[in-house]
Amino acid sequence: MKINLIIFGQLCELLGENLVLEDVSDTDNLKTLLNQRFPGLVGAKYLIAVNKKVITGKTKLMDNSTVALLPPFSGG
């Protein structure tokens, strides 16, 4: 199974704008994988949305789920 990541804001500098990951069971698992692959991400604040819905707790991922990572913006 694969999931599609869409990355926003400053996180793009770290992860690029799009990323496809294989074999990720849930969002906790996803965070662990990303932190291992991109150590710069550890401690960064961002929202996670699964299929365009912002989630707060651990959420199961399905084949072809789209996960968006959104950091906060402060500029004006």
Please report, as ranges, the residues that interact with another protein according to CB under 8 A: 6, 8-10, 43-45, 47, 49, 52-56, 68, 70-76
Query: 10 Å Cβ neighbour count for 69?
Result: 23
Q: 2 with 63: CB under 8 angstroms?
A: yes
Please report which helix (H) or strand (E) contains residue 27, including its range. Answer: helix 27-37
Which CB sits closer to another protein, 32 or 66?
66
Which CB sits closer to another protein, 43 or 63?
43
CB of 68 to another protein, least distance (A): 7
CB of 29 to another protein, least distance (A): 21
1 closest CA partner among 68, 66, 64? 64
